[in-house]
Amino acid sequence: KDILNLLKPLETDRAQRLNVIDELSSILRSQISLKDTLVRPFGSFVSNLYSKMGDLDISVDYPNSVTRQRQQDFLWAIMRALRRAGFAHNCNVIENARVPVLKFQSNYRNISCDISINNHIGQIKSKMLLWISDIDERFHDMVLLVKEWAKAQDINNPKEGTLNSYSLCLMVIYHFQTCTPPILPPLKEIYEGNVADAITGTTAFTERRIRDVCLANIARFKSQVYRQKNKSSLSQLLIEFFSKR
């Protein structure tokens, strides 16, 4: 509980991140080459699995799909716009990443940010983690603890070949699915099929369609009268997580 109290963000932490998103959106709209963009957060901020010190993942969405080279060009243009506006420092475009990304720190509150282009899959995955969190509140706390443990052990840095935060979330999901009795259902009972394959048309329409399916299945799972409830404490679940083979 003491660790979680240190990790859990306050409303002011959320407000600061929303301020960064609003300012970024305003800066991009002021640029002729970027005025048609839409700034959308994703990752742990959207899934509500972020800590006070957590990074802010942002997708800058364009109306049409763009090639990898165009993504890189847009990131360089965004970086130049942020520098001109005096909005960011420590800017760095990582072109050879699996998904090209612009990393920077905001001058406001020094929040670390990662910008990618048209990251629709990341947005949907983030929402799915948010919906899964609604099944059992222990999932949220468990993810925060496991991510903090991974950082302390220096194994939460994909740039160095270790685990990214999404992988750690999947490990917690697996643990909650396989404990006795299970806390979470198989993911195919929440959404059957590949989410990436379902992303067609406009992102907003796709998200609503996937959301309706997921929320209906989650509500069905939670309403099962004869489902045996797992009453393990968070401490017990954490111990079992590390002892699981």
pLDDT tens for each residue of 151-181: 999 999 887 889 999 999 999 999 999 999 9
Contact 39, 31 (CB under 8 A): no
Each residue of 139-151: pLDDT tens digit?
A: 999 999 999 999 9
Please state, for a pLDDT cut of 70, what percent of the chain lies above it.
97
Averaged pLDDT for residues 88-107: 95
Distance CA 178, CA 22 (A): 41
Each residue of 103-115: pLDDT tens digit?
A: 999 998 999 999 9
Domain ranges of the chain: 9-119, 122-243
Distance CA 148, CA 4 (A): 10
Distance CA 123, CA 60 (A): 11
Distance CA 78, CA 84 (A): 10
Could you please report the per-residue DSSP string of 135-163? Answer: T-HHHHHHHHHHHHHHHHTT---GGGTS-
Distance CA 237, CA 185 (A): 16
Query: Hey, which residues does 39 pair with through a beta bridge?
Result: 60
The DSSP element (H or E) to which 245 belongs, if any, is none
3-state secondary structure of 8: coil
Q: Which of 50-54, 59-63, 127-131, 192-196 has the lowest mean pLDDT?
A: 192-196
pLDDT band at 20 (very low <50, low <70, confident <90, very high): very high
Q: How many CB atoms lie within 10 A of CB 114?
A: 19
Hey, what are 183's tokens?
A: 């806390």
Say which CATH topology domain 9-119 has.
Answer: Beta Polymerase; domain 2 (3.30.460)
In this prediction the pTM is: 0.92
Hey, what are 167's tokens?
A: 């992988």
Contact 160, 168 (CB under 8 A): no
Contact 115, 157 (CB under 8 A): no
The DSSP element (H or E) to which 11 belongs, if any, is helix 11-29
Averaged pLDDT for residues 189-195: 88
What pLDDT is stored for residue 200 in this prediction?
57
Distance CA 185, CA 132 (A): 10
Mean confidence (pLDDT) of the chain? 93
Hey, what are 241's tokens?
A: 């997580």
- 44: pLDDT strictly greater than 80: yes
What pLDDT is stored for residue 65 in this prediction?
81
Distance CA 125, CA 90 (A): 28
